[in-house]
């Protein structure tokens, strides 16, 4: 498994750069991952979504449905793509420290 | 032009260049898409070159397969491969499939009829290594060398001329993941050899004996399903949150109140969806609920782990995982006391449970008292019952139908979905070829869910190429983006592949194409629905 280096700490990621252990996630990790997903700076709107996703995952061990994440954050899908150009699953969830989606999704 | 004709034994050698190189010029032309406007091919990056054995075709399906570090590890791979092959050839270990395997090993006349039936081979520009026979010829040569007296004695004089080392195994592992297991080749073979099935036998050997399997299929697939409840990671608790949201959202969008029935003992039907539907296409399970309720069907879903996810990825590579999942599904249906277990719109799950299940279930669980069925005939029965009024003019847009290989070619469910479309979709037309002669969506056998490294590029460019061309040809008089068009694909896996290649080929912007299942079209045309059910802006 590959690793990333965030402020001297070695964190395990999968071959596509998704964090393996969500417990290791913090603001600096989010900032690091954001750069790998074409998000140069995390604004307040980004953080709102990222924190929402991280909290949902903590509770349910899965990302929320795309329609739910839009609705709960008062954004349409277009807005989500504006914030996270690589999309809700690959972009936003990755930055929020979630693992890569699995199954037929 | 970069079509190569590598000798079989290249698979075992130290190479400087891959055995096949994918180049735009070689790929099959697609109607309405100029190759110059296509998303360009990404060159193979250094990360891949430095980490993996990339000498098959520069693409990596097995992102978890790192080259061995010691001679001992290398030897262990070879030893396990041979012991796995021995098991496959032993009637005690492989009684269900030995005959298919032996026929393939002993009787191929190398006529290559199968190659011309293969969408991967044709779409690639006829790359030699993608012939359905190429990977099997390698297996045959290994078999000859290690398991036949003449091969042991005479070696290359009798065609036993492929060396077996770790490179052979790794590249063969990649090569069996360049076949969708659609079995169109088997349909055309004049001798009755099933090269698609043989590719699956190699996958079984690799998974069960060497633990070599794409992460998405085994570790994050069947194993996650059996531990958490679903390959999506959806636990029973998360399922509850999902279903409640789908109920609310459906009410807001359509004004129809649905309530998913859970664990209703004694219901007639247990409906099991591919859990990917809840995550990515929630309008599909919602449409089932609307139809079943309107038709007055007595039905339930289950929230037992595995009972709410029909997937059975073992169908693609692992008999043991397949058996475990089939048993769980059958047991959950029996405990609920239902008459029928119906699989939602998912091809591989339908085949795993309805066909493969026959070879696995015994005693009470195998009893014909609980039938195991595809949803497609039931949907036609619902139409025929007259319980629901449909207005076909609500579906006044061009529609074409994709035939999921597992349900259509491999199970023969051809007409129910066509009968429904004839009744509710006045502008639907066939793509060609169709029915049991269809082409795979390119996502079959796990490809739709294998999203790691550069494999999606190979899928979109090569294995899905035939399908996008077929779809565009079906709509060739109406490609104008002013006309919205619908590809009806009653299979979760196919929908995943279609979503990805629609994005890859910019089909929404260029042609105004959307896709979805059959139930959405049915609900869209229900007289009682006040608003259109299909939303054209989202996919």
pLDDT in tens, B245-299: 999 999 999 999 999 999 999 999 999 999 999 999 999 999 999 999 999 999 9
pLDDT of residue A2: 87
Whether residues B137 and B248 fall in one domain: no
Q: Please check whether residue B537 is in contact with residue B484, taking contact to mean a CB–CB distance below 8 angstroms.
A: no
CA–CA distance from B425 to each of A25, B121, B249, B378, B537 (Å)? 50, 34, 26, 18, 20
Pairing, β B399-401 against β B371-374: unpaired
The verdict on residue B346 lying in a domain is yes
The verdict on residue B405 lying in a domain is yes
The verdict on residue B467 lying in a domain is yes
Instruction: Sketch out chain A's domains with CATH numbers.
Output: 3-95 (1.10.10.370)
- Cα–Cα dist B123/B463, whole Å: 7
Is the pLDDT score of B232 beyond 70? Answer: yes
Share of chain B above pLDDT 90, in %: 94
CATH of the domain at B298: 3.40.50.1860
pLDDT of residue B31: 97
Whether residues B234 and B363 fall in one domain: yes
The verdict on residue B179 lying in a domain is yes
Q: Do B453 and A103 touch (CB under 8 A)?
A: no
Is the pLDDT score of B103 beyond 60? Answer: yes
Helices then strands, counting H and E runs in chain B, come out as 25, 8
pLDDT of residue B470: 98
- Residues of chain B with Cβ-Cβ distance to A67 below 8 Å are 245, 249, 282
Predicted-complex ipTM score: 0.95
The CA-based angle B324-B329-B334, given to 5 degrees, is 125
A93 classed as catalytic: no
- Cα–Cα dist A104/B476, whole Å: 30
Pairs across A and B, CB distance < 8 A: 87
The verdict on residue B538 lying in a domain is no
- Cα–Cα dist A80/A74, whole Å: 10
- Residues of chain A with Cβ-Cβ distance to B246 below 8 Å are 65
Is the pLDDT score of B521 beyond 60? Answer: yes
- Cα–Cα dist B510/B55, whole Å: 35
- Cα–Cα dist A62/B240, whole Å: 13
- Residues of chain B with Cβ-Cβ distance to A102 below 8 Å are 216, 220-221, 224, 231-233, 449
CATH of the domain at B406: 3.40.50
- Cα–Cα dist B347/B406, whole Å: 5
User: For the segment B414-427, what is each residue's pLDDT rounded down to a tens digit?
Assistant: 999 999 999 999 99
User: For the segment B447-495, what is each residue's pLDDT rounded down to a tens digit?
Assistant: 999 999 999 999 999 999 999 999 999 999 999 999 999 999 999 999 9
Whether residues B299 and B338 fall in one domain: yes
Whether residues B375 and B394 fall in one domain: no
Lowest mean pLDDT among B10-19, B96-105, B258-267, B300-309: B96-105
Write out the residue range of the structural domain in which residue B437 sits.
390-524
User: For the segment B391-406, what is each residue's pLDDT rounded down to a tens digit?
Assistant: 999 999 999 999 999 9
Which of A68, A77, A104 is closest, CB to CB, to B311? A104
Query: B229 — alpha (psi -120 to 50), left (phi > 0) or beta?
Result: left
pLDDT of residue B1: 63
3-state secondary structure B101-164: HHHHHHHCCCCCCCHHHCHHHHHCCCCHHHCHHHHHHHHHHHHHHHHCHHHHHHHHHHCCCCCC
pLDDT of residue B154: 83
Q: Do B452 and A15 touch (CB under 8 A)?
A: yes
Domain count, chain B: 3
Whether residues B259 and B347 fall in one domain: yes
* Region A77-83 average pLDDT: 94
Q: What is the average pLDDT value for chain A, to the nearest integer?
A: 94
Whether residues B163 and B241 fall in one domain: no
Q: Nearest C-alpha of chain B: how many angstroms from A40?
A: 23
- Residues of chain B with Cβ-Cβ distance to A104 below 8 Å are 231-232, 274-276, 280, 311, 346, 448-449, 492-493, 496
pLDDT of residue B151: 86
Whether residues B356 and B428 fall in one domain: no
pLDDT of residue B539: 47
**Structural domain ending residue among the three candidates B212, B244, B269:** B212
**Structural domain ending residue among the three candidates B158, B191, B212:** B212
- Residues of chain A with Cβ-Cβ distance to B280 below 8 Å are 66, 104-105
CA–CA distance from A100 to each of A62, A80, A89 (Å)? 10, 18, 8
Whether residues B205 and B232 fall in one domain: no
Whether residues B31 and B121 fall in one domain: yes
Share of chain A above pLDDT 90, in %: 94
pLDDT of residue B225: 98
Q: Which residues of A make CB contacts under 8 Å with B?
A: 14-16, 60-62, 65-68, 71, 77, 100-105
User: For the segment B427-449, what is each residue's pLDDT rounded down to a tens digit?
Assistant: 999 999 999 999 999 999 999 99
The verdict on residue B177 lying in a domain is yes
Whether residues B347 and B294 fall in one domain: yes
Whether residues B144 and B28 fall in one domain: yes
> What's the gap between Cα B254 and its chain centre?
32
Q: Nearest C-alpha of chain B: how many angstroms from A61?
A: 7
Q: Please check whether residue B539 is in contact with residue B499, taking contact to mean a CB–CB distance below 8 angstroms.
A: yes
Is the pLDDT score of B538 beyond 70? Answer: no
User: For the segment B138-164, what is each residue's pLDDT rounded down to a tens digit?
Assistant: 999 999 999 999 888 888 888 888 999
The verdict on residue B537 lying in a domain is no
Kindly identify which residue of chain A lies nearest to residue B454, measuring between CA atoms: A16
Reported confidence tier of residue B172, pLDDT bands at 50, 70, 90: very high
Helix extents (H) in B352-482? 357-360, 363-366, 375-385, 415-424, 455-458, 465-474
* Region B189-213 average pLDDT: 97
The verdict on residue B534 lying in a domain is no
Q: Nearest C-alpha of chain B: how many angstroms from A15?
A: 7
Q: Do A77 and B220 touch (CB under 8 A)?
A: no
**Structural domain ending residue among the three candidates B380, B411, B433:** B380
pLDDT of residue B479: 97
Which of A14, A15, A104 is closest, CB to CB, to B496? A104
Could you tell me which residue, B2 or B119, shows the higher pLDDT?
Answer: B119
* Region B37-62 average pLDDT: 96
Kindly identify which residue of chain B lies nearest to residue A89, measuring between CA atoms: B280
Whether residues B117 and B56 fall in one domain: yes
Q: Nearest C-alpha of chain A: how many angstroms from B452?
A: 6
């Amino acid at each position: 498994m590959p690793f990333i280096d965030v402020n001297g700490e070695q964190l395990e990621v999968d071959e596509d750069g998704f964090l393996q252990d969500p417990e290791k996630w913090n603001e600096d990790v989010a900032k690091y991952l954001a750069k790998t997903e074409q998000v140069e700076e995390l604004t307040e709107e980004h953080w709102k979504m990222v924190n929402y996703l991280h909290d949902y995952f903590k509770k349910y061990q899965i990302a929320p449905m795309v329609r739910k994440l839009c609705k709960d954050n008062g954004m349409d899908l277009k807005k989500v793509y504006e914030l996270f150009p690589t999309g809700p699953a690959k972009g936003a969830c990755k930055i929020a420290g979630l693992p890569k989606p699995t199954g037929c999704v | 032009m970069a079509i190569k004709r590598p000798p079989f034994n290249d698979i075992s050698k130290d190479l400087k260049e891959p055995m096949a190189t994918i180049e735009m010029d070689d790929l099959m032309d697609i109607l309405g898409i100029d190759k110059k406007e296509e998303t360009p091919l990404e060159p193979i990056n250094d990360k891949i070159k430095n980490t993996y054995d990339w000498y098959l075709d520069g693409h990596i399906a097995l992102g978890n397969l790192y080259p061995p570090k010691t001679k001992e590890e290398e030897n262990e791979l070879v030893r396990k491969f041979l012991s796995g092959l021995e098991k496959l050839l032993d009637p005690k270990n492989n009684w269900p499939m030995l005959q298919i395997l032996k026929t393939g090993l002993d009787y191929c006349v190398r006529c290559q009829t199968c190659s011309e039936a293969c969408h991967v081979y044709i779409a690639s520009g006829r790359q030699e290594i993608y012939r359905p026979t190429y990977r099997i010829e390698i297996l045959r040569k290994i078999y000859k060398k290690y398991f036949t007296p003449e091969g042991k004695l005479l070696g290359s004089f009798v065609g036993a001329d492929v060396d077996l080392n770790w490179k052979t195994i790794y590249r063969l592992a990649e090569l069996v993941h360049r076949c969708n297991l659609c079995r169109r080749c088997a349909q055309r073979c004049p001798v009755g050899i099933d090269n698609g099935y043989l590719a699956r036998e190699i996958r079984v050997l690799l998974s069960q004996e060497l633990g070599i399997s794409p992460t998405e299929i085994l570790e994050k697939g069947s194993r996650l399903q059996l531990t958490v409840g679903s390959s999506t990671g959806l636990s029973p608790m998360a399922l509850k949150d999902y279903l409640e949201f789908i109920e609310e959202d459906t009410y807001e969008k359509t004004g129809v109140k649905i309530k998913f029935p859970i664990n209703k003992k004694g219901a007639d039907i247990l409906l099991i969806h591919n859990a990917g539907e809840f995550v990515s296409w929630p309008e599909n399970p919602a449409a089932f609920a609307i139809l079943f309720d309107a038709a007055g069907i007595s039905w339930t879903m289950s929230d037992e782990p595995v009972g709410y996810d029909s997937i059975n990825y073992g169908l693609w590579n692992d008999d043991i995982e397949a058996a475990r999942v089939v048993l769980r599904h059958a047991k959950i249906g029996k405990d609920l006391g239902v008459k029928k277990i119906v699989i939602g719109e998912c091809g591989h799950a339908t085949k795993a449970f309805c066909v493969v299940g026959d070879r696995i279930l015994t005693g009470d669980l195998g009893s014909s008292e609980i039938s195991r069925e595809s949803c497609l005939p039931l949907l036609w029965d619902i139409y025929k019952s007259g319980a629901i009024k449909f207005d076909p003019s609500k579906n006044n847009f061009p529609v074409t139908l994709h035939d999921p290989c597992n349900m259509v070619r491999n199970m023969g469910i051809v007409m129910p979905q066509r009968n429904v479309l004839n009744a509710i979709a006045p502008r639907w037309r066939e793509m060609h070829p169709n029915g049991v002669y269809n082409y795979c969506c390119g996502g079959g056998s796990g490809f739709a869910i294998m999203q790691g490294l550069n494999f999606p590029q190979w899928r979109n460019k090569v294995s899905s190429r035939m399908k996008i061309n077929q779809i565009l040809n079906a709509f060739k008089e109406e490609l104008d983006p002013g006309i919205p068009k619908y590809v009806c694909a009653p299979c979760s896996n196919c929908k995943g592949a279609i979503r990805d290649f629609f994005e890859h080929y910019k089909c929404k912007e260029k042609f105004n194409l959307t896709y979805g299942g059959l139930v959405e079209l049915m609900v869209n045309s229900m007289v009682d629905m006040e608003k259109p059910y299909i939303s054209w802006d989202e996919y």
